[in-house]
Amino acid sequence: MRTTSARRCRRTSTLIIPNLGIIVPNMGMMPQQQGGLASALFSKTQRRVLGLLFGNAERSYYANEIVRLAGVGIGTVQRELNKLAAAGLITVRKVGNQKHYQANHESPIFTELQGIALKTFGIADVIREALATLGGDVHYAFIYGSIATGADTARSDIDVMIVGTGLSYGDAVGVLGEVEPRLGRPVNPTLYSPSELRRKLADDSAFLKRLLAQPKIFLIGTEDDLP
Amino acid sequence: MTSRNLENLVKTGNLQAEPFDLNEFNSLVRSADARLADARNTELSIESRFDLAYNAAHALSLAALRRLGYRSKNRYTVFQCIPHTLGIGPEIWRVLALCHERRNRAEYEGHIDFDEQLVNECLAAAEALSAAIHELDDAGKP
C-alpha cells in the first residue's frame, strides 16, 4: 500500500497532504474563470463593445443596437465608440441619420483584437457561460468549424461540440438560443457521449476525423481531453 | 397576440396568407403520421429514421400553419411559427431548426453525421406536434 502511493507520488510529483482537517487553500491559476483573461485587459464596457464588433467583424451595428445587445448604458457605450473610432480601431459610416460602427479591418492590430475577442469575451466566454447552465455533465466542449479556423463570414454559424453524459439537444438549443442575440449568429451544437464518440471514431467517421484534426477554441477542458 | 405575430411575418414577406383547405390539412397530417410510425422503426437506418421524423415534423408544422390560413416555403419559418400555431414551448422549434440545419448540411455540404440522440429528440418533437394537432382535431376544425 505504502509503495504504491510512494510510486504514484514520484511519478506525478503530486504533494500528498494527510487529511488532518487542515484547510489547504488552492492557490493555483484559474484559467477558466469567467472573464479572467480579458478582464485583466479591458473594462466590462470595452469587453462588451469589442466583443460585439470584433466577434462579428463582417457586419456593422448602430449605436442603439450596441447599447441593447451589450446591455451597457448609452453614455459609456458612446464614449467607448468615440475612443475606438478616434484610434482607428473601428470605422463609422453614416446611413441616413444613423451612425453605423464596424471593426476596422485595415487597422494594424485588427487580427490580434479579433483573435482576443473570439477566444474570450466575444464568443467563447458567452458560450461558456451558457454551457454552465446546461443540465448533465459536460466533460469537454470546444468551438470548431469556420470560426475556429478563421474562415468565417458574417453568416457563419458557431459550431460547438459538447461531449458529456446526460445531455439533451432540447436543453442545449435552449441555453444557447438565449445568447444568440448577443453573439449575432446562430449556434449549432453537436452532442456526444464519450462512449458514442469513441465508437464513431472506431467506425472511422470521416466527419469526426476531419473535425478533430481542425483548429479548435476550447470552452471547457483542453486538447488533452480528446480521445 | 398570436395572430399579430403571424401577421407581422406576412408583412415582412416570410409568410403568405392562403385560405384554409381541409383536404390539404388532412393529407398533411395523414402523411406525417405514416412517416412518424416508420420513423419509430429501429430496424431502419439512422439516416432514414432522421429523414422520416424530420419530414413528419415539417408536415405537421405546416398543417398547423395552414389551419390558421398561412403558408411558407421556408422550412425554418414553418418551424419558427410552432409556438404561435400550436402553443408549444420554444425548445421544440429550436430542436427542429437544428434538425433543419443538419439536414441541409448533409444534403448540400456533405456533412453527414446523424447521431442517435438527435434522431430521438427529432422524433420526440414530431410526436409532440402530432399529439397537439390531434387534440385540435377533437376540438373541431376552424
pLDDT tens-place string over residues A165-209: 999 999 999 999 888 887 888 899 999 999 988 888 888 777 788
Type and span of the H or E element at B134: helix B116-138
Side-chain half-sphere exposure of A158, counting CA atoms within 13 A:
30
Specify the 3-state DSSP secondary structure of B129: helix
Cα-based distances in Å from A212 to A158, A208, A217, A223: 16, 6, 12, 10
ipTM here:
0.79
Joined together, the cell numbers standing for residue A221 give 477542458
Q: Other C-beta atoms within 10 Å of B72: how many?
A: 22
Side-chain half-sphere exposure of B5, counting CA atoms within 13 A:
12
**Distance (Å, whole) CA A60 – CA A63:** 10
pLDDT tens-place string over residues A30-83: 444 444 577 788 888 998 899 889 988 888 999 999 998 888 899 999 999 999
Percent with pLDDT over 90 in chain A: 40
Type and span of the H or E element at B80: helix B75-80
Task: Judge: A173–B97 Cβ closer than 8 Å, yes or no.
Answer: yes
Q: Average pLDDT over chain A, rounded to whole?
A: 83
- What's at A14, amino acid-wise? T
Residue B140 in this model has a pLDDT that exceeds 50: no
Give alpha helix (H) positions in A22-141.
36-39, 44-55, 63-70, 74-86, 110-119, 124-132
What's the pLDDT band for A145 if we cut at 50, 70, 90?
confident
For the whole prediction, is pTM greater than 0.90? no
DSSP B49: H
Task: Judge: B94–A196 Cβ closer than 8 Å, yes or no.
Answer: no
pLDDT tens-place string over residues B34-48: 999 999 999 999 999
The dihedral through the CA atoms of A192, A198, A202, A206 has a sign that is positive
Joined together, the cell numbers standing for residue B40 give 419509430
Which residues on neighbouring strands pair with residue A142, listed in sequence order? A161, A218
Name which residue leads in pLDDT, B138 or B89. B89
Task: Judge: A170–B116 Cβ closer than 8 Å, yes or no.
Answer: no
* Nearest to A122, CA basis, from A198, A212, A50, A215: A50
Residues of A in contact with B117 (CB under 8 A): 167-169, 191, 193, 196
Task: Judge: A170–B98 Cβ closer than 8 Å, yes or no.
Answer: no
pLDDT, residue A154, reads 67
Q: Using CB atoms, which residue from A173, A192, A196 is nearest to B91?
A: A173
Name which residue leads in pLDDT, A127 or A203. A127
